[in-house]
Amino acid sequence: MAQQQGRYCSCGTRLARDNHGERCATCQRKTAASAAATPPGVPLEFWQHERMRDALASWHMGQVFYAYRTHPWHGRVLSQEVMAAWLDLNQAQLSRIESGKPPQDLAKLMRWAHSLKIPADLLWFKLPDVGRATATAVTAAQPVPEAPTPKSETPLAGGLLPVVVNGRAVLVPVDAETIATSGLGSFVGTSADASAQATERDPMSPLNRRAFLKNGVAAVALPGLGLDELQHVAAALDDAHRYLDGPVVDYFRRVLDKAKRDDGALGPKKTLPVMLALLGAVESQAREVKPSVRRELLAVGSDGAEFAGWLYRDIQQPQAAVFWYDRAMEWAQEADDAAMQGYVLLKKSQMAYDERDALRMLTLAQAAGHERWQLPARVRAEVTQQEALGRAMLGDSLDVVRGQLADAEALLTSAPNDDPDALGAYFSDDTRLVRDAITLTEAGKPSLAVDLFSDVLSAGALSHRDTGFFNARRAAALALSGEPDEAAKVGTASAAVAYEVRSERTVRVLGEVLQTLDRWRSRPAVRAFRESLTA
């Protein structure tokens, strides 16, 4: 019999008889390892998935990583170890990035975006053009990524006005109302126009929009600023040590107040980027200002950091929320703002409720109620109600719980109602009543809670996002009361709002409702509710 001619791998190794391929086992393992070391090629539709779009809109690369790993296109959730290897990180580093403060090192952001092959037009920072080595170096040196321009249909619409300060131009955000009433229309382009003008200029040009955003705030609506005021703001952002003063701190305050007002309608999906830009500006400018201004600036910063903590709670990122609550406390202490320190303790108590830690929740609420904080009556009312909720969870009698709820009502009735931006101003009679309903649910009286929820929510006085959240709590009370069909119906409506404004906190509550409804899982309304959460 003639000897069978041998077959060889390209590396020179003779192939085994049962190997019908063209590579030896060693080369096959090396090829597989090489493929696993780089991200797979994904279609353009991959980046249009709703959760991926939301992650990119958050300006948080950690959220982008998480959305990438959990994308249904992969067929299964990718481990942090696999993705970390692609990005030249370890698993612990990737975990911190996903759950911590948004990374601001632009060089790293660009490297990670390149590794994952994220389309440049979806990023919130500009990738360098090929062949522009100088531009690349300048861009990579900037610590804060460029914020995307808000869409014109949102309340943040406006333009960017080039204002000349000390012989150089700085782009200052201007809202539509200012443009219409101040005669600045011929000087101001739309956000898109300003971006295009900046792109056409050399990256070193002072009119580059990135030069303003490096030290300033994303384009937000600020009515009532004329040309003189805009020039003053631009000068302050250009030279904080020399120019930043009370009026500019007030500018920061107005940005914060508007973001809070927008949150109820837009949710964290739209509001968080504005807040991160503001806090970046505060953090940067606070290092350069005079001591007399620093305390004013940090007082605004502590308020903004507390609000950022709330936004991260709403998207269920507790580690990031704790980071900003701690920063709010630190800045409030330096600013000698006693009321804000007590307020942060209240917010930490509410976060403990998210985690079902009843004892910590109660002791934090009691600490927040100490007289040393000199809290306004409205906040003291909220603190008293929070203590009642803690006592309900720990099994105190219904009489004790209702007594504290009555105390909270009396405090709220005595609170002045003339400053819409005062600390705790959002805590209204409607908010108190729906939180009373939550307390009654925890006290084992869900049927009483259902009636309270229905009365308040039917009036339509709450914000869009809050209506969605408290409907989730209403669904929970209905489920506990043995009304599965109505609970499922209310839960389905709540889910639609939760996904619209990206309130993961609401989604978590709805998940608990679905568990309560499990014994009725065969009912059509419950099946439809389950599908609304898993779609």
pLDDT tens-place string over residues 473-511: 999 999 999 999 999 999 999 999 998 888 888 999 999
Bin 307: left if φ > 0, else alpha if -120 < ψ < 50, else beta: alpha
Per-residue model confidence as pLDDT tens digits over 149-205:
333 333 333 334 444 444 444 444 444 444 444 443 433 333 333 333 333 333 323
Q: Are 394 and 414 in contact (CB under 8 A)?
A: no
Q: Name the residue with tokens 């008293």.
A: 384
% of residues, the chain, pLDDT over 90: 39
Which residue would you say has higher pLDDT here, 201 or 229?
Answer: 229
pLDDT at site 136: 33
Res 206: pLDDT: 29
Amino acid at 70: T
Q: What is the pLDDT of residues 303-318, one digit of tens each?
A: 999 999 999 888 888 8
DSSP 3-state of 422: coil
pLDDT digit string, tens, across residues 54-103: 888 888 899 999 999 988 888 888 888 889 888 988 888 898 898 888 88
Q: In the chain, what percentage of residues exceed pLDDT 70?
A: 73
- Measured in residues, the chain has a length of 535
Burial of residue 65 (CB within 10 Å: 0-12, 13-18, 19+) is buried
| Separation of alpha carbons 310 and 324, rounded Å | 9
Q: CA torsion, points 451, 453, 459, 465, in degrees to nearest 10?
A: -170
Q: What number does CATH give the domain 428-535?
A: 1.25.40.10
**Domain 44-140, CATH:** 1.10.260
Q: What is the arithmetic mean of pLDDT over 254-269?
A: 83
3-state secondary structure 354-401: HCCCHHHHHHHHHHHCCHHHCCCHHHHHHHHHHHHHHHHHCCCCHHHH
Whole-number Å distance between alpha carbons of 74 and 71: 6
Contact between 219 and 150 (Cβ < 8 Å): yes
CB count in 10 Å sphere of residue 494: 29
Cα separation, 278 vs 226, whole angstroms: 21
pLDDT band at 106 (very low <50, low <70, confident <90, very high): confident
The HSE-up count of residue 68 (CA atoms within 13 Å, CB side) is: 27
pLDDT value of position 232: 58
Structure tokens at 391: 């006592």
What confidence score (pLDDT) does residue 270 get?
Answer: 77
Tokens of 288: 């350069």
Q: Is the pLDDT of residue 432 over 80?
A: yes
Cα three-residue angle 157-160-161, rounded to 5 degrees: 135
Q: Assess contact for 511 and 502: CB atoms under 8 A.
A: no
Q: What is the DSSP letter of 524?
A: H
Q: Averaged over 249-256, what is the pLDDT?
A: 83
Structure tokens at 443: 């006290």
Q: How far apart are CA 267 and CA 274, in angstroms?
A: 12
- Of 224 and 516, more confident: 516
- Give the least confident one: 105-119, 174-188, 268-282: 174-188
Distance, first Cα to last Cα, the chain: 65
Residues 203, 208, 209, 215: what is their CA dihedral angle, to the nearest 10 degrees?
90
What residue type is assigned to position 393 of the chain?
A: M
Going from N- to C-terminal start, the domains of the chain cover 1-32, 44-140, 158-238, 428-535
Which two three-digit tokens encode residue 534? Answer: 């898993």
Give the CA distances from residue 468 to residues 457, 485, 499, 508, 518, in Å, rounded to whole numbers and listed in that order.
10, 18, 10, 12, 22
Measured distance CA(468)–CA(103) in Å, rounded: 31
CA atoms 189, 195, 197, 198: torsion sign: positive
Pairing of strands 168-175, 189-190: unpaired
d(CA 302, CA 336): 11
Q: What average pLDDT does the segment 337-364 reach? A: 96
Q: Is the dihedral of CA 22, 23, 29, 34 positive or negative?
A: negative
Residue 530 is predicted with a pLDDT of: 92
Residues 58 and 51: their CA atoms lie apart, in Å, by 11
Number of Cβ within a 10 Å radius of residue 325: 22
Dist. CA 129–CA 188, nearest whole Å? 27
Q: Which of 238-252, 421-435, 515-529 has the lowest mean pLDDT?
A: 238-252
Nearest CA among 443, 508, 507 for reference residue 480:
443
- For 180, half-sphere exposure in the C-beta direction (CA atoms, 13 angstrom radius) is 8
